[in-house]
Amino acid sequence: MRRIFAFVLAFMLMLCLFSFGVSANEDLVIDISKVEGKAGFNQNSPLGLWPAAGYDDKHVIAMCNFGAYASLGEIDLSKYEAIVVTYARGQDVDYASYNTAFGFTNKGAMQTAGGEKVSDEDAGVITKYVFEGSVSGGWQGRVDVTLELNSDYNGEVFVANYLDPAFPHGFVITDIRFVAKQNPETSDMGMIPLVVLTLTGFVPLKRRRVK
The 10s digit of each residue's pLDDT in 147-169 is 999 999 999 999 999 999 999 99
For the segment 169-189, the average pLDDT, to the nearest whole number, is: 81
Output the pLDDT for position 25.
85
Query: Quick one: pLDDT band at residue 20, thresholds 50, 70, 90?
Result: very low
| More confident of the two residues 167 and 7 | 167
Count of CB atoms situated within 10 Å of the CB of 119:
9
Q: What is the pLDDT of residue 17?
A: 46
User: What is the per-residue DSSP string for 105-148?
Assistant: ESS--SB-TTSPBPPHHHHTEEEEEE--S---SGGG--EEEEEE
Q: Which residue ranges does the chain devote to CATH 2.60.120.260?
A: 26-180
pLDDT, tens only, 84-134: 999 999 888 899 899 999 999 999 999 999 999 999 999 999 999 999 998
Compare 18 and 165 and report the one with higher pLDDT: 165
CA distances 2 to 65, 126, 194, 196, 200, Å, are: 72, 54, 15, 12, 7
Specify the pLDDT at position 92: 85
Q: What is the pLDDT of residue 8?
A: 46
How many residues appear in the chain?
Answer: 211
The share of the chain scoring above pLDDT 90, in percent, equals 69
- Note the pTM of the prediction, 2 decimals: 0.77
Is the C-alpha dihedral spanning 103, 109, 115, 120 positive or negative?
negative
Q: Which of 166, 174, 57, 60 is nearest to 117 (CA)?
A: 166
Domain 26-180 has CATH 1.10.10.10: no
